[in-house]
Amino acid sequence: MNILTIGKRLISLDQIAYVEPFDPAANPEFKPEKDFKARLVLLNRDIALTENSPGEFSEANGFHLLAEDNVAVNSSLAFRVETFAPTESFKPGKAYRTRIKWRDAVGNEQSKLLVMEPETVVTELSRRGADRAEQEALELSQAPFHPMLGVLHPEGLRTTANEGLADLVCSGMAHPVRGADLSRGSHPSDDLDRQGDFFFESELGFGRHQRLPGGPAERRGARDREDGG
């Protein structure tokens, strides 16, 4: 779970639905000590202020930025998009064209108005899956080694082709890429044989992926031959 700290408050990122610009001039009676640039709308309808702009917040936390309106939406939250037209009783100052809706923590519908065309908003929201994949790849490249390394044993990496890899694993210089299921199989290395990928990290913190030589059957056969003598 990703936790955001704002002042003394801790907020889970998955509880933030929407990020919009904060305009101090629109709240003349509110004189904060900090230069707040955006307002976070939470699923429980609470509000929190941040010193990051919507663009900065989205880039840092994996939200999707709707640049034309300078707002950011939670990439994991479901949104509905509707057309909007002013009525006699409700005529906003801006030329809004779109209403974006989501469900709050108790299931009630919440919404915001956008200047963007509805079709553009739908297209932008459909790209959020690609944004999440890119963000996850970035997090993987920057993440510390996974604690699951503790279940690996050097005896599970005794193939000739992988000579020395056990030492790298034990020393924390390599670990299996995210997605390997270490809970399956009778031997901790079974899924590593199926996966065939390891992630290496240099002393400078930059990561790279490397596929081990040979196919899964070849690697498993080499290990079995060594085990059987």
**pLDDT tens across 3-44, in order?**
999 888 999 999 999 999 999 888 888 888 899 999 999 999
**pLDDT tens across 159-217, in order?**
444 445 445 545 544 444 444 444 444 444 444 444 444 444 444 344 444 444 555 55
**pLDDT tens across 114-155, in order?**
999 999 999 999 887 655 656 566 656 665 544 444 344 444
Name which of 130, 3, 110 is nearest 64 in CA terms: 130
Predicted pLDDT of residue 25? 84
Predicted pLDDT of residue 223? 55
Predicted pLDDT of residue 24? 87
Contacts of 204 (CB under 8 A, 6+ apart): none
Predicted pLDDT of residue 59? 93
The model's confidence at residue 113, banded by pLDDT at 50, 70 and 90, is very high
Q: Which residues pair with 110 in a beta bridge?
A: 102
**pLDDT tens across 32-89, in order?**
889 999 999 999 999 999 999 999 999 999 999 999 999 999 988 999 999 999 999 9
Query: Distance of alpha carbon 183 from its chain centroid, rounded?
Result: 24
Annotated domain spans of the chain: 3-141, 146-228
CB–CB of 219/155 below 8 Å? no
Buried b (16+ CB within 10 A) or exposed e, 95-125: ebbbbbebeeeeeeeeebebbbebebbeebb
